[in-house]
Amino acid sequence: MSEVPSLAGLYVHVPFCLSKCPYCDFDSTTALDLLPAWLQALEEECRLRGDSFGRFDSLYLGGGTPSILDDRQLDRLVTALSRSFDIVEGAEITIEVNPDDVSPHRLALYRALGFNRISLGVQSLQEAELRFLGRRHGEKQTLRALEWVRSGGFDRVSFDLIHGFRADDHSTHRALWERTLRKALSFDPDHLSCYMMTIEGDTPFRRLLAEGRLTVPSEGELEELFLFTSEFLESEGFIHYEISNFARSEQSLCRHNVKYWDHSPYLGLGPSAHSYRDGMRCWNVRSVQRYCEALKKGEPPREGSELLSEAQLDLEKLFLGLRTRRGVEASLLLKRPGARHILDQLAASRLVEMRQGRILPTRRGFLLADGLPLLF
Ligand code: SF4
């Protein structure tokens, strides 16, 4: 990851999905009747926030399901963004797309509107697993979408994949995961996000788990899947640059997401979106209705804000840095009492390495990344 200070990132949250996947705890709704009001509110938020954040070298349409927007709605959204914000030439411009929304016509539209990176929510390339995950797309439809995306003129294509669930027994899932990875690689993505399923929030999977009708893999099984994924993709030439993210080359890193991990400024638009600059973080209301109501009155849809103290910023740098291959500056840790001793122990256990004044998590260290900062 580059040391050169980057420009800001612009994020737009499209909080709509056609149906809700049973494991998903993201901020999204199936109340599509709210979409026209959301779009109007977003145009108003662009007007309110325009000129307030400088220049942007990344734009990311995430969700929810941004590909749910029809041609006219997407055109309106992109027009509003480009009128209000200075998005520089050569910016990374990503749209998240569900496989069931892919068509040659849509891909041509994305290109015409300036998108140069597609993040495709593949999740699995096994029919039984897609059904278990409650996805709207089947294996055949997904493979066709992958072919269209690959022949659609996009150099930068990322696939989201999920592992670490138990549709069947562990060895079956492990074998199917390897098949999914191999099939995904045959479409030559330049980036992969491999998420481990977590059962969170008030989701149908959470309830099934509580009722004993869903089993989850053991810690050991999850560890094995994680290590296998990392070793396998690195052997295929990918850089494991963040716990869940793999890039074909330095140029393939997701420029937008890196901003979240290195405290670059970013502006988030839409319900629940967060913004950050110079130690100040603020976030929008989660409810789509409240978001629309605020903007109808010309008010910012702000839910809260916080100014991070130096100590809080240091702690965040530690948490975020130890999730990435870039790690953290050793000086950040060594000023904490007793840190040298803990570091020596972590290095002896091969969980971290010291290189050029930085502390870098190893592959096994990634596994414990959330717990490592708590040791200091
Ligand atoms: S499509 Fe994505 S955001 Fe929508 S419910 Fe499924 S996992 Fe969640």
pLDDT (tens digit per residue) in 290-307: 999 999 999 999 999 999
Mean pLDDT rounded to a whole number for the chain: 93
User: In this predicted model, which residue has the larger pLDDT, 165 or 272?
Assistant: 272
Question: How are beta strands 55-63 and 274-277 bridged, if at all?
Answer: unpaired
- For residue 298, the CA-to-ligand 1 centroid distance in Å is 30
Average pLDDT over residues 321-345: 88
Atom of ligand 1 nearest to the CA of 20: 5
- For residue 13, the CA-to-ligand 1 centroid distance in Å is 13
Q: Where are the domains of the chain?
A: 8-261, 314-375
- The predicted structure's pLDDT at residue 296: 97
Q: What is the CATH number of domain 8-261?
A: 3.20.20.70
Site to probe by mutation for ligand 1, drawn from 20, 29, 159, 286 as the one with most ligand atoms within 8 Å of Cβ, is: 20
User: In this predicted model, which residue has the larger pLDDT, 315 or 287?
Assistant: 287
User: In this predicted model, which residue has the larger pLDDT, 168 or 283?
Assistant: 283
31, pLDDT greater than 60: yes
User: In this predicted model, which residue has the larger pLDDT, 169 or 75?
Assistant: 75
- The predicted structure's pLDDT at residue 5: 53
Least confident range of 188-192, 219-223, 256-260: 219-223
Q: Cα(53)–Cα(321) distance, rounded to whole angstroms?
A: 24
> Tell me, what DSSP letter sits at residue 21?
-
pLDDT in tens, 167-183: 777 788 889 999 999 99
**Closest protein CA for atom 2 of ligand 1:** 64
The alpha carbon of 269 is separated from its chain's Cα centroid by a whole number of angstroms, namely 16
Average pLDDT over residues 189-216: 91
192, pLDDT greater than 70: yes
User: In this predicted model, which residue has the larger pLDDT, 153 or 52?
Assistant: 153
How sure is the predictor about 3, in pLDDT bands with cuts at 50, 70 and 90?
A: very low
Question: CA neighbours within 13 Å on the CB side: how many for 141?
Answer: 17
- For residue 16, the CA-to-ligand 1 centroid distance in Å is 9
Output the CA–CA distances (angstroms, integers) from residue 311 to 277, 335, 336, in the order listed: 16, 11, 11
1, pLDDT greater than 50: no
Average pLDDT over residues 39-46: 98
- The predicted structure's pLDDT at residue 302: 97
Atom of ligand 1 nearest to the CA of 24: 8
Q: Cα(68)–Cα(241) distance, rounded to whole angstroms?
A: 30
- For residue 24, the CA-to-ligand 1 centroid distance in Å is 6
The pair phi, psi for residue 329, each rounded to 5°, is -65, 135
Q: What residues line ligand 1, using a CB cutoff of 6 Å?
A: 17, 20-21, 24, 26, 28, 63-65, 98, 121
- The predicted structure's pLDDT at residue 4: 46
- For residue 94, the CA-to-ligand 1 centroid distance in Å is 17
Atom of ligand 1 nearest to the CA of 17: 4
Atom of ligand 1 nearest to the CA of 135: 6
Atom of ligand 1 nearest to the CA of 134: 6
Give the H or E element holding residue 354.
strand 352-355
Task: Assign 3-class secondary structure to 301-350.
Answer: CEEEEEECCHHHHHHHHHHHHCCECCCEEHHHHHCCCCHHHHHHHHHHCC
Q: Cα(340)–Cα(319) distance, rounded to whole angstroms?
A: 18
Average pLDDT over residues 327-353: 88
Say what the pTM is: 0.94
- The predicted structure's pLDDT at residue 52: 79
- The predicted structure's pLDDT at residue 204: 94
Atom of ligand 1 nearest to the CA of 123: 7
**Closest protein CA for atom 3 of ligand 1:** 64
Distance separating the N- and C-terminal Cα atoms of the chain: 25
Atom of ligand 1 nearest to the CA of 19: 5
Average pLDDT over residues 104-108: 97
Q: Cα(216)–Cα(206) distance, rounded to whole angstroms?
A: 11
- The predicted structure's pLDDT at residue 61: 98
- For residue 282, the CA-to-ligand 1 centroid distance in Å is 24
- For residue 64, the CA-to-ligand 1 centroid distance in Å is 6
Average pLDDT over residues 72-99: 97
- For residue 47, the CA-to-ligand 1 centroid distance in Å is 28
- The predicted structure's pLDDT at residue 116: 97
- The predicted structure's pLDDT at residue 348: 92
